[in-house]
Amino acid sequence: MHPILTSFGLNSSNHSIEHIGTGHIHQTFLVKGLNSYILQRVNKNVFTKPEVIAQNLRTASTFLKANYPDYLFLSPIISIDEHEMVYDNENYPWRLFPYFDNTTTLNEVTSETQAYQAAKGFAQLTKNLKDIDTSLFKPTIEKFHDLNWRYFQFQMALKKASSETKELAEKTIQTANSFAYLVDRYNTLINSNSLHTRITHNDTKINNILFSQLTEEAFCVIDLDTLMPGYFIYDLGDMVRTIVSPVSEEEKDLSKITFRKSIYEALINGYLSQMHDILSQEEKQAIPFAGMMMTYIMALRFLADFLNGNVYYHITYADQNLVRAGNQLRLLEILKSELQIP
Ligand code: GN1
Ligand code: MG
């Protein structure tokens, strides 16, 4: 790690390095010193074209600086030889971000204020980018939130999995299949062309926003690797998925998963505080579908990864991806009974 710090002009003997974060993809470290930083090793198996991330962020940052100079958009720190990323001996890209004092991330939401502020924060990003030319952005992961594609990948994983693995997951597979009608709903919605292509964050789970500890407001959005063209339901849906329940996707005790109506309403209000005048009438009608769609996609992705032998998400115990899939399907059942989808 030390040569990496040197590439960014930091002296490693003046800093301590500590592994932090709950992300499932990258390795994240806090570099502590007189000034502190966040250092991240990018997962090159997931992001096979890290240069595309850097290019998208440059495009967004240039636009935002010109049009919203006061908006805090988290760009990586440039290395001594003027790159956003520095490659190590094994060809892993590393990048450095500023660390902000008096800010924090949350894994679970405990108040309406937090739900409102988080949704407002994520919505503000899409709002500020509403006039940018979306064709300037490239997907950093193809078909990332395409429910058809994720369902297909789940089917492929089922085909390849051993009967032993499938037996372990039998009930979860059954429940996942019982929600396949959501794929048809998704296709109908997308084919109706009623959703506009916007620049979306695409990873709006609650721990991807920094909160100010002083004001309780959102400070800035983080984890911008999937900033790319998408539909608003992807962002709003992932917020519903990670905010309405008092427990996270890691919770094993499914009885703790509930739908907190006032929290749901606060999050929708927070999102609409920015996007009300931007979303079309037809888009607004898709709001109740957003949470179900994104919860289903994550159930399928976790379950497929379990069936594939846990090759994508970082796990700390053997059936963690199966537990996550079961958790998401329970949430989906609850959302189904709480949200009237058109
Ligand atoms: C991953 O990087 P992280 O942990 O914030 C994943 C998201 C999932 C999320 C589920 C690139 O996000 O799509 O919603 O896990 N990111 C990627 O916790 O696959
Ligand atoms: Mg991420």
Total domains present in the chain: 2
C-alpha dist (Å) from residue 77 to 224, 233, 293? 14, 31, 35
- Counted residue by residue, the chain has a size of 342
Cβ pair 169, 303 in contact under 8 A = yes
- Decide: helix, strand or coil at residue 145: coil
pLDDT at 342: 66
Q: Is the CB of 324 under 6 A from ligand 1?
A: no
Q: Is the CB of 330 under 6 A from ligand 1?
A: no
Residue whose CA is at the smallest distance from ligand 1 atom 8: 203
In a shared domain, residues 186 and 282? yes
In a shared domain, residues 239 and 313? yes
Question: Among 45, 66, 99, where does a domain finish?
Answer: 99
In a shared domain, residues 146 and 239? yes
Residue whose CA is at the smallest distance from ligand 1 atom 5: 23
Quote the longest CA-to-CA distance of the chain: 59
Q: Is the CB of 298 under 6 A from ligand 1?
A: yes
Whether 105 maps to a domain, the answer reads no
Print the domain residue range for 197: 112-338
In a shared domain, residues 168 and 299? yes
Whether 285 maps to a domain, the answer reads yes
Report residue 111 as tokens.
């108040």
For the CA of 249, the closest atom of ligand 1 is 18
In a shared domain, residues 11 and 124? no
Question: Among 69, 99, 129, where does a domain finish?
Answer: 99
CATH code, domain carrying 74: 3.30.200.20
Report residue 177 as tokens.
């299949």
pLDDT at 192: 97
Q: Is the CB of 223 under 6 A from ligand 1?
A: yes
Residue whose CA is at the smallest distance from ligand 1 atom 18: 24
Cβ pair 39, 45 in contact under 8 A = no
pTM: 0.96
153 CA distance to ligand 2 middle (Å) = 20
In a shared domain, residues 199 and 88? no
In a shared domain, residues 230 and 128? yes
In a shared domain, residues 62 and 170? no
Per-residue pLDDT tens listing for the chain (342 residues): 678 999 999 988 899 999 997 789 999 999 999 999 999 999 999 999 999 999 999 999 999 999 999 999 999 999 999 999 999 999 999 999 999 999 999 999 999 999 999 999 999 999 999 999 999 999 999 999 999 999 999 999 999 999 999 999 999 999 999 999 999 999 999 999 999 999 999 999 999 999 999 998 999 999 999 999 999 999 999 999 999 999 999 999 999 999 999 999 999 999 999 999 999 999 999 999 999 999 999 999 999 999 999 999 999 999 999 999 999 999 999 999 999 876
In a shared domain, residues 45 and 148? no
